[in-house]
Every structure is written in structure tokens, then in C-alpha cells.
């Protein structure tokens, strides 16, 4: 069994004016520095999910291949109207069987003070139905528009806080990913 852990980092929206994309790119950039980890960045703008549900005609084969390869997921979701975006739900719904026994971590992002906590809470029920195993704590980017520079890099005054939080969350995600990878390979 290959020891490399493949993590798909999912950006949570197709909205044109999406500040959360900077948080998602930062999460992926952070994880690329971890040893023994392969990161696949998933921007829903790059995929086509026609229809509804997980019927064969509603799948994008490129996304199916990523989900099949991934040992774990990290979803970065913005909060829209106290919930997560429909585009994220549509993407998640397209692949039910391939998510089983794979852990998922979350980061929320919003332009308000709560950092997407309501979006993550709303997402837990939907994710549980997919067979993904949700970790017990998350990272939040409140006032996300103030955390990143125009070029997408994190502002220096926020770097230590987020590197520490993401480090702990990725330690947990990798622990679960290794355990479940072993379980999946023994079946």
C-alpha cells in the first residue's frame, strides 16, 4: 500500500465574487508543504454537474476520478443565507459510493463575524449521508475579505494563527485518512 495520502481540497462555490476561494487556495497551499501528502484542488467552476442527484448522467467523470483517488477531503465552504451553496451540494451529491470510509475536514468562510459556522453546521447532515466521516472541529475565516491580500496570500498578522489551526486540523485529518485507508485496503 502506498503511504502517500491524497487529499482533495474542495472550494465550495461557483459564485463569481467569491472571497472564500482565497481561503480554499490557502488551505491547499498549506497542505502542499506537508510530507507524504498529495493535494488535488477542486474548483467547482472546472466541472459540469448536470441534473440532480447521483444518477450516472449527473456525474462529471473527472470529479469521479478525483473522488476515487482521494483518501480524504477538506471542504472550504462560504456561508450564503445561513447555509452552504447549492453548487457544493450538487458536487457532493454526484458521488455517493466513492466517499465511503473517507474523512473530511471543514473550513468555513464569510464576510461576517461568524466565519461560516452555520454553513459548516448545515453541511454536516448532508456529508454524513454521503458516507464521509466528519472530523469533530473546524477552522473558520471570519471577515475573510480582511484576511488575505489582493494577490491571495494571507496577511502576515493572520499567518501564525491559521498555520497553527490548520496544522492541528491536518494532523487529525491525516490520522483518520491513514486509518481508513488501511481499512479500505483490507476489504
Q: Which among 119, 107, 113 has a CA at the least distance from the CA of 83?
A: 119
**Residue 5 predicted with pLDDT over 70:** yes
Extract the C-alpha cell encoding 5.
495520502
- Mean model confidence pLDDT for the chain: 94
Measured CA to CA, the distance from residue 138 to residue 120 in angstroms comes to 8
Q: What is the pLDDT of residue 57?
A: 82
pLDDT digits (tens, 9 = 90+) for 139-169: 999 999 999 999 999 999 999 999 999 999 9
The runs of H, that is alpha helices, within 78-155 are 86-93, 117-130
Q: What is the pLDDT of residue 51?
A: 79
Q: What is the pLDDT of residue 161?
A: 97
Q: What is the pLDDT of residue 141?
A: 97
Measured CA to CA, the distance from residue 57 to residue 40 in angstroms comes to 24
pLDDT digits (tens, 9 = 90+) for 77-122: 999 888 999 899 999 999 988 999 999 999 999 999 999 999 999 9
Give the chain's domains with CATH numbers.
5-185 (3.40.50.360)
**Residue 1 predicted with pLDDT over 70:** no
Measured CA to CA, the distance from residue 92 to residue 99 in angstroms comes to 9
Burial of residue 43 (number of CB atoms within 10 Å: 0-12, 13-18, 19+):
middle
Average pLDDT over residues 52-63: 86
**Residue 54 predicted with pLDDT over 80:** no
**Residue 58 predicted with pLDDT over 90:** no
Amino acid at each position: 500500500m502506498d503511504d502517500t495520502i491524497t487529499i482533495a481540497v474542495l472550494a465550495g462555490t461557483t459564485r463569481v465574487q467569491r472571497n472564500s476561494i482565497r481561503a480554499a487556495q490557502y488551505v491547499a497551499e498549506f497542505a502542499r508543504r506537508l510530507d507524504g501528502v498529495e493535494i488535488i484542488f477542486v474548483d467547482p467552476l472546472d466541472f459540469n454537474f448536470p441534473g440532480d442527484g447521483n444518477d450516472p448522467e449527473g456525474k462529471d467523470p473527472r470529479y469521479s476520478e478525483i473522488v476515487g483517488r482521494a483518501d480524504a477531503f477538506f471542504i472550504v465552504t462560504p456561508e450564503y443565507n445561513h447555509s452552504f451553496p447549492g453548487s457544493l451540494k450538487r458536487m457532493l451529491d454526484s458521488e455517493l459510493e466513492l466517499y465511503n470510509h473517507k474523512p473530511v475536514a471543514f473550513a468555513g468562510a464569510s464576510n461576517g463575524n461568524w466565519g461560516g459556522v452555520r454553513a459548516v453546521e448545515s453541511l454536516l447532515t448532508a456529508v454524513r449521508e454521503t458516507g464521509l466521516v466528519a472530523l469533530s472541529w473546524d477552522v473558520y475565516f471570519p471577515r475573510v475579505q480582511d484576511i488575505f491580500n489582493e494577490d491571495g496570500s494571507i496577511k502576515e498578522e493572520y499567518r501564525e494563527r491559521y498555520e497553527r489551526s490548520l496544522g492541528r486540523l491536518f494532523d487529525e485529518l491525516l490520522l483518520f485518512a491513514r486509518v481508513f485507508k488501511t481499512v479500505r485496503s483490507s476489504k
